[in-house]
Structure formats: C-alpha cells, structure tokens
Amino acid sequence: MLADDLKIKEEANAFHDNLLDIWGNAFNFSHEKGLAEWLKNSIDAYIRVGLSDKDQHIIFRFTDGNGTTLPKIECIDFVGMTHNDIQKAFKWWGDPTAAKRGLNIKTYGGHGNGGKFYMRQMFQSARFITYRDGKLNVFGFNENKKYGFAIGYENKDTDPEKALEFAGLDKSMIPEDVLRKIETGKTGFTVVSGIRPKKIVGKVLNVSSICEKLKYHPQARRPLKFSDVSVIYNNKLFAKSLRMEDLEPLKGFEEPVIFEIPEILELKNRPTEKIEMANKKYQTGSLILRTSALPFGHGGKKSELNCVDIIGEIGVIASYSMREIGPLRYYPQAQSIYGECRCPILEDPEYDCVSNDREQLTDNERTQALREWMCSRIDELGTRIAEIEQKDQEKKNVKTTDEFNQILNKWKNQFMSKLFAEILGGPGKGKATGGLGLEGSGGGKHDNSDEKGGLGSGMGEGGGEGQNKTKGPTMPQVLLSERDDPDFPGVFVSFSERHFPVEQRQQDVDRGIYWINRNKLLAKKIIEKYGVHSPQWRNYLFQRYVDIFIKEALYRLAKEEGGSLTPEMVDTRIMQVASLVYDKATVDLESFLLEDKFNEGNDDEEKNP
C-alpha cells in the first residue's frame, strides 16, 4: 500500500471536538508560521536525544499536485517517535510540558498545540509517518479533522529499508552517517505531511515565497540560524541551507546596544505602582538592539525583522514590530533597528505573560510596563541615530528652507485642493457646510468666499452645500522634512536618503500628515545641480503629490471594497488618478511646472481673477 492511500481509524480527542474547533479558529495561520512550529518540534526531538545543533538535520519537502496526486508540504527529521510518545504526548492538547516528554531539558515547544493545529486546520488531511526501534507508526488527521492511527500501521514491525521506501525517503537525500544509524537501528525518522494545503490556489506550490517568509518569521529565525535545514521541491534540491542573510549594520552603530531592564518598572499612567521585573528566582533581563544599514521599510520580506523578539528560556515567546511596541518619536530611525529582549520573569507561571500562540505577550501590567520601557530605549537609540544623520546632512541650502515651504504651501493651497476634491472627495453636494476653502475658508468660487456650495482653493474641511454642519473628510497635510513637527515643537523631523521619498511616521497617520523627504538622493542631486527655484525641483515636488494622491485613492478604494483589491482594480484606479492629476495640472500648474522662472503670483491671478 502507498502512504497516500492510508485511512485513519478515528479516535476520540483528549478534548471535545467543539472545543478544538473553537481553539483551532485561532490557528488558521500562514504556512510559514505553521512550518516554524513543525521546525521547532523537529529540533525538540533532536534535543530530547541529546544531539547538538550541527547534527540536527531537517528537511522541508514540497511536492506539487498532478493528475493523480495532491500537493503536499512535509517536514522530515531523523529521530522518530515510539508508540508511547504518540500516546503520552502527541494525543494531548494544551500540555505545557508535552515537548519535554518528562525530561529536565529546555525545548522550543510550548503548550504542544501549534504543530498539531497546523496539521488539523491548514490541510485537507495530515499525518506523520514515524519509525523508531523497528516499529512503524502512522498517525494523523482525516478530512473530518478526526485523529487516529492509520489502519494497519500502529506499531507495525518493519525493517529500515521498507520503512524508508514507505515514507518516500530516497537514500540520496539523507546524510550518510544518519543513513547508517537508521539502517543499524540507532535512530529513526519522522515525516510530517500536510496534504492539499489551504490558502494555496491550484496544485502548484509557491515554494520560493513560502521559504522566504519562513526565513524571517520570528519563530523560525533562531532555529534556522543554528540547525541544518534544507529544502527539496519536486524531488530536487531547492535550498541546501535555509537561513536568513546577515544584515550590514548602520555606519557608526556596528556594535549592539545593550540596556539592562530595571528590577522595578512603573506604568506611565500609574507612576506610584511598582512592577517587579526581577527577583531571587528570575534574574535581571536585558534589551539588545542592533541596526541595519538599510531601513526595513514598510513591506518586503525583511520588514519582519523590524521588531523586538522576546526571548524565553529557549526560543521566541513573543515578537513586536516597531509599530506595535508603542508610539515612537523617532520612528524613521527605528526603521533601521531590530533586537531581542530577555526577561526571565515573564515565564513565571504565576504572572501568565506568555500566550498560547506565542505571537505576543498577554496584555497585563507587567507586559505593558516592559513595552513602555522598550519604547523609551528604542527612542533613545533613535535619538542618537538622528543626531548623527543631522550632522551628516547638507547645510548649504538652509537659507532656502522658507522658499521651499512657501512654494509648497502656495502650490498646495492655490492649486492642489481642487485636485483633492475631484479625485478623492468630489465637489458635489454633501451634508457639510462650505467647500474646500483657503485654509478652511468658505466654499465660494473665490478665495475666502462666504458663499456655500462653491469650490474654494484651500485645504479646509467640508464637501458641498447643505444645512447640516457636520465636517467633511479632512485633506492630507503635506510638509517638507528638516523641520520641527508642527504639533511637537523641538522634535526635529528628519529622514535620511535610506527612507522613502514620501514618509509617514506612526504618529502622522491619524493626523493625516505626509512628509516629503528632502534628503532622498535624487532630491539632493536636483537641488545641488539646479537649485530649489528650478522647474526640475518643482516637478519633483509635484511627483511626490501624485504619489500621495494615488496612495490616498487606493486606501479609499480598499475601504470601499472591504479591504479586498484585485490587481486589475488597483491598476485601473492608479491610471484614473494619474490621468486626472496630469490633466488638471496641465491647466492649473503650467507655469509652476514648466517655466524656468516661476512668478508665484501668475497662476493665482490667472485662476482667481
């Protein structure tokens, strides 16, 4: 019989199926998270038999479906489980000691749920073929999410050759020393198989994407760093060693910055309450921060690294992105920071700080205080980075700062509000009083008009005529970097050439503020070569506004569509917005964009006679 043809003899779960269904809803996770759970389980198997990192060989095997077989995702280790291991550990849910199997050891596994729920929730069916001490066992979940042994494969006497063949393990894929141990009965193997994975369209697996995401998943980063993990795709070697690349540190911050966690912390809103972070049983923890030469940005595979991992006795027990840790004053600089925090007291069962899925810590006073403290330390490092960046920035154009702002503000107030109204809001009738007036002026046809129903030229609120004075949607505010935050005097907002041309810090999102990054390499080159009064510079600013219009339009489209966008929808909206912006600019901004010398009053006189 082939392994793919096995039938599961259903058994009663250790917990009621309804409870498992409720728990399982939280485990409909991504495949990279599930594979991280399988990876940790395999490493724990090696830890239990006393093998060091260099001897921990693990294989991820991906197989596309075809006309007769279904696609499969598998994890293979060379330890194996006994019938007793399955009965006493695998069948049980929610056991915090399941991974230890009664041994006094440190393991990656937590409550023994993650790997099993990945099998149960994310595949049409799943099972593992395991071989140890001459016995072959097959145990798993069928299409009904019921688990049990495969019929005829419970503690079955099998010689190594037939066991390897049954599991579909080619000898060429097994290290020679490991193969000898299997053949002589000194070790075994386990093949965990998920058949017909969910959230994957068709029969072809996107192995490259899954592996790239897995490399940067917080639960996988540390295990992959030390263990020998390879990838096989359709029976061919895809990756000999799966691990993330080393990061080049930021110049001047090559060494990690280490902060010791105080024994007592206070919450900002309750400063009189003292929260213990160390005691005689649990020693003082630390926060280690490192830098990256390139900002992690707002997306891409490496954006997952822009975080602080909370390290437990072994492995990661939680992970927080920079946006999740707290409000950072120096978020642009924090985009180049990553790190890890060790705080042993978090694993004290009395305080219940570690969640079941190990995504984030449970929300309580102790974890809140730790996050507040980490946020301050990240800002402390961010301040140091900002100071060096500011010293390195060009100073020769300081005198023209007022001219930058004057040109930008005049452009925004006199020309851009009409574009915002037509593209993002529509100048039609609405419930608000007034239209888009100059800095909140009336909505008549001229600046500062008190007449309702017209289209003003500023950035005020409102959307049409009517008696209901409810405010309409506010327009985004666009500012140039290298200045103080208007709401926080003394907080200098600066971005480096490593950041995006248009940036938003965490605290800017709700305020609707966008920053044009004056330190972007092309921006600096234009200013150096042509000057800030040049059409090249004015066109650069205009293009950044186009970026913002498109971004706002896509956000609004996503909201209209319930968050689900197709590539065709995005492409159509981008083309619509770009077409409207450029057509409007041809009429309203001709001299601003095209004339060598721009007289700021010309366009105002032409459009507002």
Separation CA 493–CA 548 (nearest Å) = 19
In a domain? residue 247: no
Report the pLDDT value the prediction gives residue 528, as an integer from 0 to 100.
83
Is the same domain home to 208 and 271? no
Report the pLDDT value the prediction gives residue 470, as an integer from 0 to 100.
39
> Between the CA of residue 156 and those of 19, 128, 495, what are the distances in Å?
32, 14, 65
Is the same domain home to 353 and 412? no
Domain end position, chosen among 392, 427, 447 = 392
Is the same domain home to 338 and 446? no
Is the same domain home to 427 and 547? yes
Q: What is the CATH number of the domain that holds 143?
A: 3.30.565.10
Is the same domain home to 74 and 46? yes
pTM of the model: 0.61
Is the same domain home to 208 and 268? no
Report the pLDDT value the prediction gives residue 354, as an integer from 0 to 100.
86
In a domain? residue 317: yes
pLDDT along the chain (609 residues), means of 10: 70 62 62 91 90 91 90 96 86 54 52 77 93 95 90 95 95 93 95 92 88 89 88 94 89 94 91 88 95 79 87 86 90 92 92 82 93 95 87 53 55 56 47 28 34 33 38 66 85 89 89 90 88 84 88 84 85 88 80 75 42
Report the pLDDT value the prediction gives residue 199, as an integer from 0 to 100.
83
Report the pLDDT value the prediction gives residue 289, as an integer from 0 to 100.
97
Return all residues near 79 (Cβ < 8 A) that are at least 6 apart.
Answer: 42, 45, 46, 48, 49, 51, 132, 187, 188, 189, 190
Is the same domain home to 446 and 530? yes
Return all residues near 186 (Cβ < 8 A) that are at least 6 apart.
Answer: none
In a domain? residue 248: no
SS3 597: coil
Separation CA 145–CA 524 (nearest Å) = 60
Q: Which domain holds residue 177?
A: 3-239
CA-CA-CA-CA torsion sign (451, 454, 458, 463): positive
Report the pLDDT value the prediction gives residue 603, as an integer from 0 to 100.
46
State the DSSP string of 111-132.
SS-HHHHHHHHSEEEEEEEEEE
How do strand 513-516 and strand 189-197 relate by DSSP bridges?
Answer: unpaired
The one-character DSSP state at 14 is: S
Residue 257 bridge partners (DSSP): 289
In a domain? residue 128: yes
The number of C-alpha atoms within 13 Å of 508 and in the hemisphere containing its C-beta is 20
Report the pLDDT value the prediction gives residue 382, as an integer from 0 to 100.
94
Is the same domain home to 230 and 289? no
In a domain? residue 59: yes
Q: Kindly report the length of the chain.
A: 609
Number of compact structural domains in the chain: 3
In a domain? residue 28: yes
